[in-house]
Amino acid sequence: MRAKPNREPKGNDEFYELCAYIEKEFYGYDENQHLKKPACLWLRGLMNGKEAGWVEVNGVSNYPIKVALIAFQINRNKILNTIQNLDFKSEEAKMKYICSIVSHDIDNVYMRLKRVEKTEENIDKLDTNILSHNGGEYQKKTEELRNKRLNELW
């Protein structure tokens, strides 16, 4: 797990988890290497729906970090296949390219998660008492015929 600096405010654990996933899967970093600030700003920008995560610019969306992590996990193979043959000038250029791939699907992932939450909420609200059926029991109208000669064979 990534070591967290003391100067960071609490509540960034999910973002550190996202960074650790990206460092491990796409950059091949070990525990001693971490993403630089410009690459992290591209991640912040992806979640805020803007070019980069500069504070002065307001984004058009605000995706939770969980949605971004799931979007990266869904697009993992696509990202690995596209970046394996490319040479990047810097870590920031690689992150910009990766974020552009994920940005196409992040809205779909967000909508899927919203749909799942809504479905789970509807299931919780569902009254299960109306689903139980205590119907009548089956009664035979004919008698079962038994042949005594066949019973001797068995």
In tens, the pLDDT along 116-132 reads 999 999 888 877 777 66
Structure tokens at 145: 């015929």
pLDDT score, position 138: 76
* 3-state secondary structure at position 119: helix
pLDDT score, position 63: 85
Instruction: Report the domain count for the chain.
Output: 1
What does the longest C-alpha to C-alpha distance in the chain come to?
A: 97
Structure tokens at 153: 């064979």
pLDDT at 4 over 80: no
- Nearest Cα neighbor of 117 from 73, 66, 75, 49 is 66
Threshold 0.85, pTM exceeds: no
Domain extent, residue 81, equals 1-119
52 domain residue, yes or no: yes
109 domain residue, yes or no: yes
Per-residue model confidence as pLDDT tens digits over 33-87: 888 888 888 888 888 777 665 554 555 678 888 998 999 999 999 999 998 888 8
